[in-house]
């Protein structure tokens, strides 16, 4: 006898699971490729269907209700099981393809210039790059290894420190910036960090360390993408605090110059992966290559 399941719409369940896992309607919308309004609509539909409230909606954030807290892990585990089964059916691993997820700017400025070295070292391994500034779900997103930026730790994952970043003032040599007094003549370029803390290496922090009090550290041009800040700096649109790791090639070639200090400490880049990866041997090979490339 076939069991008949009475379930809410799948789209509503997916919207709730993503929003509950990230505790953000906007982050869930980015993950699912829809608008935050669509996520809100689907969750209200689910709440109406169940006759229950699943979120406490507060200014600038949402929290799960007791009922939402019960429902979330059940859906999360179910979607993870779906992803694993689909991966197995597709034979993703049989083809020897490794998927590496990393922040967008890291992919563009650090990984892409080194791909030829990877291909030369491992000609039999096909690498798929997944560029995203959002945290990935390894099973659901089909990711084998990820590069993450931050202080850590990363519970439930094996983490290997790749390289510790620093940030420094940099500009195009065409601007002829040579001393701190030149800062007032050019726009400050800002990267809008998604998680701003007292330790975030930004212009106000740099000006404090440099002992400069007559420049507004909040003025200038703001970018939501770190790679765009670097490109604008190369184009001579102003002076920026840039990652020394991501701009190492630009600084070495003279495309960018570092006219003065100080240099601020930033967070490490980490290589992380599930503790029991499906392609353990290939994952270890990729991690070894990343770590060796970082120290060259």
Q: Judge if 211 and 242 occupy the same domain.
A: yes
Indicate if 217 and 288 belong to the same structural domain: no
Claim to verify: residue 249 and residue 170 sit in the same structural domain: yes
Same domain assignment for residues 157 and 273: yes
170 and 159 share one domain: no
Determine the 3-state secondary structure of 127 from DSSP. Answer: strand
At 131, the pLDDT band (50, 70, 90 cuts) reads very high
CA distance 129 to 152: 22
Phi, psi values for residue 122, rounded to 5°: -135, 70
* Residues 185 and 118 both lie in one domain: no
Distance CA 201, CA 241 (A): 8
54 CB burial (10 A radius; 0-12, 13-18, 19+):
buried
Are residues 244 and 172 part of one domain?
yes
Does 237 share its domain with 280?
Answer: no
Q: What is the mean pLDDT of residues 175-194?
A: 91
| Number of domains present in the structure of the chain | 3
Q: Which domain holds residue 146?
A: 97-163+269-295
Report yes or no on 157 lying in a domain: yes
Q: Where are the alpha helices (DSSP H) in the chain?
A: 10-22, 25-32, 36-50, 66-90, 104-106, 115-121, 138-141, 203-210, 226-234, 248-253, 280-295
Is residue 73's pLDDT more than 90?
yes
- In this structure, the answer to whether residues 171 and 259 fall within a common structural domain is yes
- Residue count (the chain): 296
Any idea what the CATH number is for the domain that residue 145 is in?
3.40.190.10
* Alpha-carbon dihedral angle through residues 33, 37, 39, 43, given to the nearest 10 degrees: -170
Q: What is the pLDDT of residue 1?
A: 45
| pLDDT exceeds 50 at position 287 | yes
Question: Can you read off the two tokens belonging to residue 223?
Answer: 């970018």
Of 4-18, 175-189, 201-215, least confident by mean pLDDT is: 4-18
User: What angle (nearest 5°) sits at the alpha carbon of residue 35, between those of residues 106 and 104?
Assistant: 5
Q: Stretch 230-247: mean pLDDT, rounded?
A: 96
The predicted model gives 90-94 an average pLDDT of 53
Position 5 in a domain: no
Do 32 and 15 form a contact (C-beta atoms < 8 A)? yes
Residue 86: count of CB within 10 angstroms of its CB: 13
pLDDT band per the 50, 70, 90 thresholds, residue 80: confident
Within this chain, do residues 234 and 283 fall inside the same structural domain, yes or no? no
Q: What is the pTM of this model?
A: 0.67
Query: Count of CB atoms within 10 A of residue 174's CB?
Result: 10
258 falls within a domain: yes
| Rounded Cα distance, 150 and 276, in Å | 23
Q: Is residue 59 located within the same domain as residue 198?
A: no
- Residue 96, pLDDT score: 64
- 134-177 pLDDT tens trace: 888 887 788 899 999 988 888 888 999 999 999 999 999 999 99
In a domain, 3, yes or no: no
Strand locations in 103-194, DSSP E?
126-131, 145-149, 157-170, 188-191
Per-residue pLDDT, averaged over 11-20, amounts to 94
How high is the mean pLDDT of the chain? 89
Residue 2 in domain:
no
Residue 171 DSSP code: B
208 plus 132 within the same structural domain: no
Show which of 90, 106, 136 is a domain's final residue: 90
Looking at residue 85, which CATH number applies to its domain?
1.10.10.10
**Three-class SS of residue 162?**
strand
Domain assignment present for 1: no
Q: Is residue 248 part of a domain?
A: yes
pLDDT at 277 over 80: no
């Amino acid at each position: 006898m076939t069991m008949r399941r009475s379930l809410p719409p799948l789209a509503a369940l997916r919207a709730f699971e993503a929003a509950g896992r990230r505790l953000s309607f906007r982050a869930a919308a980015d993950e699912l490729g829809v608008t935050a309004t669509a996520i809100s609509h689907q969750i209200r539909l689910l709440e109406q269907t169940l006759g229950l409230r699943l979120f406490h909606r507060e200014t600038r954030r949402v929290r799960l209700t007791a009922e939402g807290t019960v429902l979330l892990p059940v859906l999360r585990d179910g979607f993870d099981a779906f992803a694993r089964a689909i991966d197995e059916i597709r034979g993703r691993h049989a083809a020897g393809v490794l998927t590496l997820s990393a922040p967008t700017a890291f992919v563009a400025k650090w990984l892409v210039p080194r791909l030829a070295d990877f291909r030369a070292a491992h000609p039999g391994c096909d690498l798929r790059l997944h560029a995203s500034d959002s945290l990935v779900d390894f099973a659901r997103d089909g990711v084998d290894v990820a590069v993450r930026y931050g202080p850590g730790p990363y519970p439930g994952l094996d983490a290997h420190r790749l390289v510790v970043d620093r940030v420094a003032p940099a500009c195009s040599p065409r601007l002829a910036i040579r001393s701190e007094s030149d800062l007032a003549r050019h726009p400050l370029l800002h990267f809008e960090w998604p998680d701003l803390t007292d330790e975030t290496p930004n212009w106000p922090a740099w000006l404090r360390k440099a002992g400069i009090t007559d420049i507004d550290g909040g003025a200038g041009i703001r970018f939501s993408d770190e790679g765009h800040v670097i490109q604008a700096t190369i184009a001579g649109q102003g002076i920026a605090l840039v990652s020394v790791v991501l701009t190492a090639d630009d600084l070495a070639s003279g495309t960018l110059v570092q006219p003065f200090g100080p240099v601020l400490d930033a967070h490490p880049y980490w290589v992380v992966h599930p503790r029991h990866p499906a392609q353990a041997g290939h994952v270890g090979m990729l991690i070894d290559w990343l770590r060796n490339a970082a120290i060259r």
